[in-house]
Amino acid sequence: MSLLEVEDLRVTFPTEAGPVEAVRGISFRLGRERLGVVGESGSGKTITGRAVLGLVRPPARLAARRLAFDGRDLLAMGEGARRALRGRRMAMVMQDPKFSLNPVMRVGRQLTEGLRLRDRMSAREARRRAIAALEAVRIRDPERVMEAWPHELSGGMGQRVMIAMMLIPGPDLLIADEPTSALDVTVQAEVLRILDDLVRERGMGLIFISHDLKLVSRFCDRVIVMYRGRIVEEIAARELENARHPYTRGLLGCLPRIGGPRGPLPVLARDAAWEG
């Protein structure tokens, strides 16, 4: 059975100039695998992730023929049940750790709070678990990081702390929204490797949302390419070089390469037909 089933998902935002459909009827299934969701800004990829987590709030409207997690219908579930699910079985890593960590709480307390409140764990046990999680994301000096304030962490370190925090309850589904875009390139690779190992070891389902097609294809099993709220292509990551949709091909071709030709870069000729 699929971990996540999404069928005909639509998200609409009301604006002064009339409703705008940001996600326009997309369907996909996710097993215990790594799925990349790729698109440019405005493609609806981030909203798709938030919709799965139940973070689409009024006045935005969500509709779907089916939205199920581990066989349970998410649309029929109350807000409390959704929240419980988000805490334990679904987690999200966001783009910029600066905005995801509470700036006035030490890292250690943020890591242990959930364990102590939700799982009624003793302070000692919670601390042990938190340190283990920090070690799992290859933080060399977890004791020191536990005592640190968020602003004392570098970008890469902050993002590792975020990943550790998300992984502590042992979720079945992890949604990573551009988890490395705010990081320096030399740090990116390290954070991705950590994420990759964790997903592999724990057999989680992963939705990796990114604008970077090449990065996603190296990291995922399957890739969904979104354009203006629709899926234009779904392809095995290995087969990406053989992508057929002109948008996917255009995305692959428009990046400069070191030592590449000096002439103008190929640009996307957008076709109204892609919007379907």
Site size toward another protein (CB under 8 A) is 33
**Rounded-to-integer distance, Cα 54 and Cα 69, Å:** 11
Cα–Cα distance measured from residue 235 to residue 137, given in angstroms and rounded to the nearest whole number: 30
From candidates 213, 226, 232, 243, binder to another protein by CB under 8 A:
213
Strand-pair partners of 19: 14
CB of 158 to another protein, least distance (A): 13
Contact status: 172 vs another protein (CB under 8 A): no
Per the CB < 8 A criterion, the answer to whether 38 and 74 are in contact is no
Q: Is 184 in the site for another protein (CB under 8 A)?
A: yes
Under rule CB under 8 A, residue 214 binds another protein: yes
Residue that has been written with the tokens 């692959």 in this structure = 252
10 Å CB burial of residue 71 (0-12, 13-18, 19+) is exposed
Distance of CA 202 to the CA centre of its chain: 17
Q: Note whether 34 and 203 are within 8 A (CB).
A: no
Q: Yes or no: say if 207 and 35 are a contact pair by the CB < 8 Å rule.
A: yes
Contact status: 272 vs another protein (CB under 8 A): no
- β-pairing, 66-69 with 18-30? unpaired
* Among 39-47, 67-75, 77-85, 109-117, the segment contacting another protein (CB under 8 A): 39-47
- Contacting residue, 117, 266, 271, 275, with another protein by CB under 8 A: 266
The closest of 188, 91, 193 to 138, measured between CA atoms, is 193
Alpha carbons 171 and 205: distance in angstroms, whole number: 9
Q: Which of 104, 185, 272, 273: binder of another protein (CB under 8 A)?
A: 185
Give the one residue of 218, 234, 271, 276 binding another protein; rule: CB under 8 A.
Answer: 218
Applying CB under 8 A, which of residues 212, 228, 232, 248 lies at the interface with another protein?
212
Q: Which stretch binds another protein (CB under 8 A): 48-56, 115-123, 132-140, 208-216?
A: 208-216
Sole window of 70-78, 98-106, 141-149, 183-191 interacting with another protein (rule: CB under 8 A): 183-191
Task: Please state whether 206 falls in left (phi above 0), alpha (psi between -120 and 50) or beta.
Answer: beta
Q: Which of residues 146-165 bind another protein (CB under 8 A)?
A: 155
Which strand (E) or helix (H) includes residue 6?
A: strand 4-15
Piece of the chain touching another protein by CB under 8 A; list 1-9, 79-87, 122-130, 178-186:
178-186
Restricting to residues 232-261, name those near another protein by CB under 8 A.
250-251, 254-260
Q: Which residues bind another protein (CB under 8 A)?
A: 15-17, 40-42, 155, 184-186, 188-189, 211-215, 218, 250-251, 254-260, 262, 264-268
